[in-house]
Structure 1
Amino acid sequence: MDLIRFKQSDLPMKDLEILGLAAEGQLKLKHNDLQALLSGRRTSLLQLQNLRAENIKIKAMDAKISLTTGENGVTDLLIHPVYRKPATPDFLDDHEAALLEKGEVANLQKLVKDGKGNKQELLVEYDPETHEFVVSDSEKILAPDMVNGEFLTPAQKEKYRKGKEVEVADHTKFSYSAVDGKGIRSDKVALIASVLIDGGLSYVAYKGLNALFNKKRDPAEAEKLSPGYHQVVADMEAENPVPDNSHIRFDARRRVFR
C-alpha cells in the first residue's frame, strides 16, 4: 500500500524541466505517473531528454524515474534507465537470478546482513522493462490494515510484506509489487485499502489494477466487486464526495470523514 510520501511542491522542477518532463512550472506527467512519484514508487517508462553523466551527453533515453529524500532533506530525482544486462545483487546466486529474469517467480525473499551486521529481510523482484533487480526492505513495506472494509490479520500483513498473495473474506486476492505501476496487483480490477494513522483511517482507492503475477483472470469476474467494496465507496461518497484516487482522513471515533 502506498500513501502519499511527497508533496507536489517538493518536486525538483528544475530537474524535471531539464529532462523534458515539465515546462514553465507545469508538469508533463500523466496522472498515474505523478501519483507513483508522490507515493515513492517508479513511474512507467518515460522518454527523458538532455541527460548528462561523466562528460557524456544523451539526447534522449527511455527510463523510469522516482523520488528519494537526500541526506540534507531535499527531494532528489532518481533515474532508472533500461540496462542492456542486469546487475545481479551479490546475495543472489545464478539460479535465483534466472528464476526472476525468466518470470518463473514473482519475487524472492532473502535474509542478509546490513552494514552494521544486523539481519535484514529483503524482497527481490525483477523489472523486465528496465532489466533491473528491484530490492525492497520487507520491514519498510506498509501493509494495509483493511481491504474492502475487512481488517487484515497479523499473518495476512506479514504475507503482504513478503510479496505473497493475500485473500480476504470477500475472496479478493492481492499482493504487493514494487515493480507494478500501482504497487499492488489483484484478481479484481479495483479495491480499497486503508491504514490506521493517528486514530484515523486513510483510504486509498485503487482502480485499473493489473492481474496477479503470471495469472490470467476472467474480465467479467474481475469486474465483479464485493459488497464490502461498494459499501466503503458508498460511505465515502455519502460523507465527503472526492475525486478518484484521493486519500481521505477518517475520524474512527466519530465515524465521519474530514
Structure 2
Amino acid sequence: MRFQRFKEKELPMQDLETIGLAAGGQLLLNVDDLKALLSGGRTSLMQLNNLEAENIKIKSLDAKLSLQPDGKGKVNLLIHPVYRRAVKPDFISEEDALQLQKGGLSNLLKVSTDGQGRRKELLVEYDADTREFIVSDVEKILAPDMVNGDFLTPAQKEAFRKGKEVQMPDHTAFAYTAVNAQGIRANKLALIASVLIDGGLSYALYKGLNALFNQKHDADAGKLSAGYDNAVRDMEEQVNFHHQEAPLPNRITR
C-alpha cells in the first residue's frame, strides 16, 4: 500500500535537478511518480538524459527511481536502471528465480536470517522492466486496516503482507506488489484503502489499477461497490473538515 512515508521537503532536490527531474527548486515529475517516491515505492520506468557522475557520462538511461533514508536524517535518491541480466538473490534457487522471471510465480516468500542471526520473512518479486529481483521485508509492508469501508481481519492483513490475494465482502480482490508505482494490483480499476494513524483514519485513493497477476480486468472492473462510494464520501468529508479547521495534513493522500 502506498501511504505517504516522506515529506516533499525531504526530497533530494539537488540530485533530482542533476538528472533533469527538477529545475529552480521546482519538481518536473508527474503526480503518480511523485506519489510513488513519497510513499517509499518505485516510480514508473522513465528516460533520464545527459547523466554525469564520477567522470562517467551517460547520454540516455532508462530507469526507475526510489528514495532511501540513510539513518542520519538524510533521504537518498536511488536509481534502478535496466540491467542486462538479472542477478538472483543468493537465498533463492535457480529454479525459483526462473519461475519468477518467466511469470510462473507472482512472488516468492522465503525465510532468511540477517547478520545477527534474526529470522526474517522476505518477499521476492521480479521486475521485468528493469530485469531486477525486488526483495521486501514482510514486517515493513504496510497492510491497510480497511478497504472500501470494510475492515481486514488479522489473517487478511498477514496474507497481504505475504503477497497473497485478499478478497473483500464487496468482491474487490487485491494483492501487494513492489513492482509497480502504486504498490497494489486489483480486480477493480479503483479502490480506497484506509489505515488507522494516531486514532484517526488516513485514506488513499487508488485509480487505474493494474490487474491481478497473470489476469485481465473483466467487464465489471469499472463497476465499483457501494462500499467504495461510501468510502469516497467519508474521505471527502474528512478532507473538507481539515480544510476548514487547519491545513491539510501530509498523511492524507488523494
TM-score w.r.t. structure 1 length? 0.91
Aligned residue for 1:42, secondary structure, equals coil
Q: Distance in 1 between matches of 2:87 and 2:22?
A: 31
- Matched ranges for 1:203-218 at <5 A: 203-218=203-218
Q: Distance in 1 between matches of 2:177 and 2:23?
A: 32
Q: Distance in 1 between matches of 2:211 and 2:52?
A: 37
- Matched ranges for 1:144-183 at <5 A: 144-183=144-183
Question: Is contact 1:18–1:50 with CA below 8 Å preserved after alignment?
Answer: no
Question: Is contact 1:185–1:213 with CA below 8 Å preserved after alignment?
Answer: yes
Q: Distance in 2 between matches of 1:52 and 1:83?
A: 19
Q: Does 1:237 align with 2:241?
A: no
- The aligned residue for residue 195 of structure 1 is 195
- The aligned residue for residue 254 of structure 1 is none
Offset from partner CA, 1:108-128 (integer Å, 9 cap, x none): 001011110011100000000
After superposition, the Cα gap between the structure-2 partners of 1:41 and 1:20, relative to the gap in structure 1 and judged at 3 Å, is same
Aligned residue for 1:77, secondary structure, equals strand
Q: Distance in 2 between matches of 1:103 and 1:144?
A: 26
- Matched ranges for 1:114-125 at <5 A: 114-125=114-125
- The aligned residue for residue 32 of structure 1 is 32
After superposition, the Cα gap between the structure-2 partners of 1:46 and 1:76, relative to the gap in structure 1 and judged at 3 Å, is same
Offset from partner CA, 1:157-203 (integer Å, 9 cap, x none): 01000000000111110000000220011000011111111111111
One of 228, 242, 248 as aligned partner of 2:252 = 248
After superposition, the Cα gap between the structure-2 partners of 1:239 and 1:179, relative to the gap in structure 1 and judged at 3 Å, is closer
Deviation, 1:55, is 3.6
Moved over 6 A (4+): none
Q: Distance in 1 between matches of 2:138 and 2:238?
A: 35
Q: Distance in 2 between matches of 1:62 and 1:30?
A: 16
Q: Letter of the aligned partner of 1:35 in structure 2?
A: K
Alignment RMSD: 1.8
- The aligned residue for residue 109 of structure 2 is 109
Question: Is contact 1:170–1:226 with CA below 8 Å preserved after alignment?
Answer: yes
- The aligned residue for residue 227 of structure 1 is 226
Aligned residue for 1:185, secondary structure, equals strand
Offset from partner CA, 1:209-252 (integer Å, 9 cap, x none): 1100001121x300111111111112333454499xx8539xxx
Higher relative contact order (CA 8 A, sep 6+): 2
TM-score w.r.t. structure 2 length? 0.92
Q: How many residues align?
A: 246
Q: Letter of the aligned partner of 2:230 in structure 1?
A: Q
Q: Distance in 1 between matches of 2:133 and 2:61?
A: 20
Deviation, 1:52, is 3.7
Runs of 5+ consecutive residues of structure 1 not aligned to the other structure: 250-258
Question: Is contact 1:18–1:49 with CA below 8 Å preserved after alignment?
Answer: no
Runs of 5+ consecutive residues of structure 2 not aligned to the other structure: 244-249
Aligned residue for 1:35, secondary structure, equals helix
